[in-house]
Amino acid sequence: MATEPLAKEVAGTCVDAYGSAIGMPQLCFDWFPNQIFWLVITLVVIFLVLSRVALPRIAAILAERQGTITNDLAAAEDLKAKAVEAEEAYNKALADARSEAQRIAAEARAEIQSGLDDAIAKADLEIAAKAAESEKAIADIRAGALESIQVVAKDTAAELVTALGGEADAKAIDSAIDAQTKG
């Protein structure tokens, strides 16, 4: 750095002999062309870098991110709809299975009922047959009993007549007994 006074022509009008500023360096018009020239170059370079590379790239990144978010949201919505659909299908399958089970149970019940009815009818028939047989047997016995009564009554009547010292008239006794028992 300047420890001894500079030559006047090197220092110019803006810097004193010791390298310090005279007044405001901002107002040193000697330096304006230089600063403006480099400023213009800088601004043009920045503008080109921004408009050609940086800004389209950042815009693309932001758009891509927005797109990704939108897509993900749509996918989530889709999956949610699918889940609801699956639940509905499950519920429907459940209802179907329930009605099928009910149908099968009703069928089984009907089958059992018809089997039962058949068996009851068969049993009824058998019972009726047995009852008829029994009735016939009873009638036979009853008829047998009547005959026996007549025989016993005739014998008894004859014996009584004899015992009372009478003469047993077989014919009269028979007709009397028959008349009594018929009535």
Partner 1 sequence: MATETTAAEGSSLVFHPMDQFIVKPLFGDGAIAWYTPTNVTLWLFLAIAAIFALLVLSTSKRAIVPTRMQSVAELAYGFIYKMLEDICGKEGVKYFPYVMTLFMFIVCANFLGMLPMSFTTTSHFAVTIPLALAVFLTVTVLGFVKNGASFLGLFWVSSAPLALRPVLAIIELISYFVRPVSHSIRLAGNVMAGHAVIKVFAGFAAIAVISPVSVLAITAMYGLEVLVSFIQAYVFTILTCVYLKDALHPSH
β-bridge partners, 15: 21
- Of the pair 2, 93, the CB lying nearest partner 1 is at 2
- Of the pair 8, 182, the CB lying nearest partner 1 is at 8
Number of residues engaging partner 1 in binding (CB under 8 A): 51
CB distance 14 to 30 below 8 Å? yes
Rounded to the nearest whole angstrom, what is the least distance from the CB of residue 94 to partner 1 in the complex?
Answer: 43
d(CA 20, CA 1): 11
Give the three-class secondary structure for 89. helix
Rounded to the nearest whole angstrom, what is the least distance from the CB of residue 77 to partner 1 in the complex?
Answer: 20
b/e for 102-139, b at 16 or more Cβ within 10 A? eeeeeeeeeeeeeeeeeeeeeeeeeeeeeeeeeeeeee
d(CA 147, CA 153): 10
Q: Say which residues have a Cβ less than 8 Å from residue 177's Cβ, sequence separation at least 6.
A: 150, 153, 154, 157
Contact string (CB under 8 A) for partner 1, positions 11-30, x = contact = -x-xx--xxxx-xxxxxx-x
By the rule CB under 8 A, 31 interacts with partner 1? yes
Rounded to the nearest whole angstrom, what is the least distance from the CB of residue 91 to partner 1 in the complex?
Answer: 39
- Of the pair 50, 97, the CB lying nearest partner 1 is at 50
Contact string (CB under 8 A) for partner 1, positions 71-90, x = contact = --------------------
Cβ atoms within 10 Å of 14's Cβ, excluding its own: 16
Binding site for partner 1 (CB under 8 A): 1-3, 6, 9-10, 12, 14-15, 18-21, 23-28, 30-43, 45-47, 49-51, 53-55, 57-62, 64-65, 68
